[in-house]
Amino acid sequence: MAVHVMDHPLIQHKVSVLRDVKTTSKQFRELVSEIAMLMCYEATRDLPLTDKDVQTPLATAHTKVIAGKKLAFVPILRAGLGMVDGVLTLVPNARVGHIGLYRDPDTLQPVEYYCKLPADIEHREVIVVDPMLATGGSAIDAISQIKKRGPKDIKFMCLIAAPEGVEALTKAHPDVEIYIAALDDCLNDHGYIVPGLGDAGDRIFGTK
Ligand code: PRP
Ligand code: URA
């Protein structure tokens, strides 16, 4: 399945500022939200449309509107929360589910602590959002949880990815399209993306 690395100049510029160690939490939060909004524009490019006649003040316009039950966004807690405002700016009527996962610092394995998904998620296209795709463990686990509820079309959107994570996610869920703002070099010995931006959750919420 396709891996899309964003080449839009606005996204590249904003990711550069995001990476900077001098960027404050306030700026970081704003940038995460803005980049998520710009990426959402690309990730929704293939949403199915249906015909609709609309009466304008002058005549009937033969138009298109988005078909079906539309979208659900699922942020992976915590850091994924930083992307929710941005994507909802573009698709305000989308439903939002939440999956709580953290990486065990020793094993780097995801530990699940929360899962609440929209009741009708099986009828929606789902976009999972998390700023970081490192080993891929968290994204793989979150998407496996979502698949149990039956949605047919799932995408994954992240700001920074390591090649190791892209490979693992593609192998585990070959049907899931991946949208990435920047594809980095590698992981370090602690499972952090290099050059990356550090710990996304800590930078969004100012916890370190
Ligand atoms: C970060 C990030 C991803 C995960 C990526 O979350 O937001 O969810 O790490 O790493 P992986 O691809 O190796 O699984 P973290 O576990 O730090 O939790 P937090 O968002 O609560 O800080
Ligand atoms: N999680 C983060 O927040 N940053 C990384 O580089 C890897 C995992």
Q: What is the sign, positive or negative, of the torsion defined by CA atoms of 35, 155, 99, 101?
A: negative
Instruction: Name the phi and psi angles at 15, rounded to 5.
Output: -65, -35
What average pLDDT does the segment 95-115 reach? 94
pLDDT tens, position by position, 106-143? 999 999 999 999 999 999 999 999 999 999 999 999 99
Ligand 2 pocket mutation, candidates 133, 169, 199, criterion most atoms within 8 A of CB:
199
Residue carrying the six token digits 């693992």: 168
Q: Pick the atom of ligand 2 nearest to 191's CA.
A: 7
Residue 1 confidence (pLDDT)? 65
Q: How confident is the model at residue 34 (pLDDT cuts 50, 70, 90)?
A: very high
The answer to pTM > 0.85 is yes
Compute how many other C-beta atoms are within 10 angstroms of the C-beta atom of residue 29: 17
Please indicate whether residue 199 is annotated as part of the active site. Answer: yes
* pLDDT digit string, tens, across residues 45-83: 999 999 999 999 999 999 999 987 789 999 999 999 999
Q: How many angstroms separate the first and last alpha carbons of the chain? A: 37
One-letter amino acid at 80 equals: G
